[in-house]
Amino acid sequence: MPTLQEIKNRYGIIGNADELNRALDVALQIAPTNLSVLIVGESGVGKEAVPRLIHDNSSRKHNKYIAINCGSIPEGTIDSELFGHAKGSFTGAIGDREGFFGAANGGTIFLDEVGEMPKATQARLLRVLETGEYIRVGESEPRKTDVRIIAATNVNMQKAISEGRFREDLYYRLNTIPINLPPLRERGNDVEMIFRKFAKDTAMKYKREPIMLTDEARMVLRAYKWPGNIRQLKNIAEQLSFMCKDTMVTAEDLYRAGVTIDSDTKELTTTRPTHIHSNGHTDYDYNLQITTLASALQQLNNEFQTFKQYVEQRLDGVNIKPKNEPLFIGTGENGSGSFTITKENSNYNFPQEDIQEDAPHTIEEIERIKIIESLKRHHNNRKKVAEELGLSERTLYRKLLKYDIKKQ
Ligand X SMILES: Nc1ncnc2c1ncn2[C@@H]1O[C@H](COP(=O)(O)OP(=O)(O)OP(=O)(O)O)[C@@H](O)[C@H]1O
Task: Write out the H or E segment, with its range, that includes residue 324.
Answer: none
> Closest approach of Cβ 50 to Mg ion, in Å?
10
Residue among 122, 157, 118 nearest 39 (CA)? 157
DSSP string, 93-108: --S-B--HHHHTTTSE
Beta bridge partners, 65, equal 108
* Single-letter amino acid code for the residue at 6: E
Cα separation, 390 vs 387, in Å, equals 5
d(CA 251, CA 1): 43
Residues 224-283 that bind ligand X (CB under 6 A): 230-231, 234
Least distance CB 216 / ligand X (angstroms): 24
Of residues 202 and 229, the one with the C-beta less far from Mg ion: 229
CB of 166 to ligand X, least distance (A): 16
- 13-21, 54-62, 75-83, 321-329 -> range binding ligand X (CB under 6 A): 13-21
Q: Pick the stretch among 40-48, 88-96, 340-348, 356-364 that binds Mg ion (CB under 5 A).
A: 40-48
Q: Are the CB atoms for 102 and 81 separated by under 8 Å?
A: no
Cβ(85)–Cβ(97) under 8 Å?
A: yes
Binding segment for Mg ion (CB under 5 A), chosen from 41-49, 80-88, 122-130, 309-317, is: 41-49
Which of 23, 30, 40, 47 touches ligand X (CB under 6 A)? 47
Residue number, 7 or 13, with CB nearest to ligand X? 13
Q: How far is the CB of 233 from ligand X (least distance, A)?
A: 8
Cβ atoms 110, 152 nearer than 8 A: yes
Q: Is 45 an interacting residue with respect to ligand X (CB under 6 A)?
A: yes
CB of 14 to ligand X, least distance (A): 4
Q: With b meaning 16 or more CB within 10 Å and e meaning fewer, what string describes 111-128? A: bbbbbbbbeebbebbbbb
Helix ranges (H only) for 178-285 are 190-206, 215-223, 229-243, 251-256
Q: Which is closer to ligand X, CB of 154 or CB of 295?
A: 154
318, 321, 323, 327 alpha-carbon torsion, rounded to 10°: -70
Cβ contact 241:206 at 8 Å? yes
Q: 230 vs 294, which CB is nearer to ligand X?
A: 230
Q: Is 125 near ligand X (CB under 6 A)?
A: no
Q: Among 48, 168, 215, 246, indicate the residue that binds ligand X (CB under 6 A).
A: 48
* Interacting span for ligand X (CB under 6 A) from 10-18, 129-137, 163-171, 199-207: 10-18
Residues 154-173 interacting with ligand X (rule: CB under 6 A): 154
13 binds, among Mg ion, ligand X, none (CB under 5 to 8 A by kind): ligand X
Q: Does 48 bind Mg ion (CB under 5 A)?
A: yes
Size of the residue set binding ligand X (CB under 6 A): 17
User: Quick check: 183 and 153 in contact, CB under 8 A?
Assistant: no
CB of 315 to Mg ion, least distance (A): 49
**48 vs 267 by CB, closer to Mg ion:** 48
Cα separation, 276 vs 383, in Å, equals 42
Contacts with ligand X by CB under 6 A lie at 12-15, 41, 43-49, 154, 194, 230-231, 234
Contacts with Mg ion by CB under 5 A lie at 48
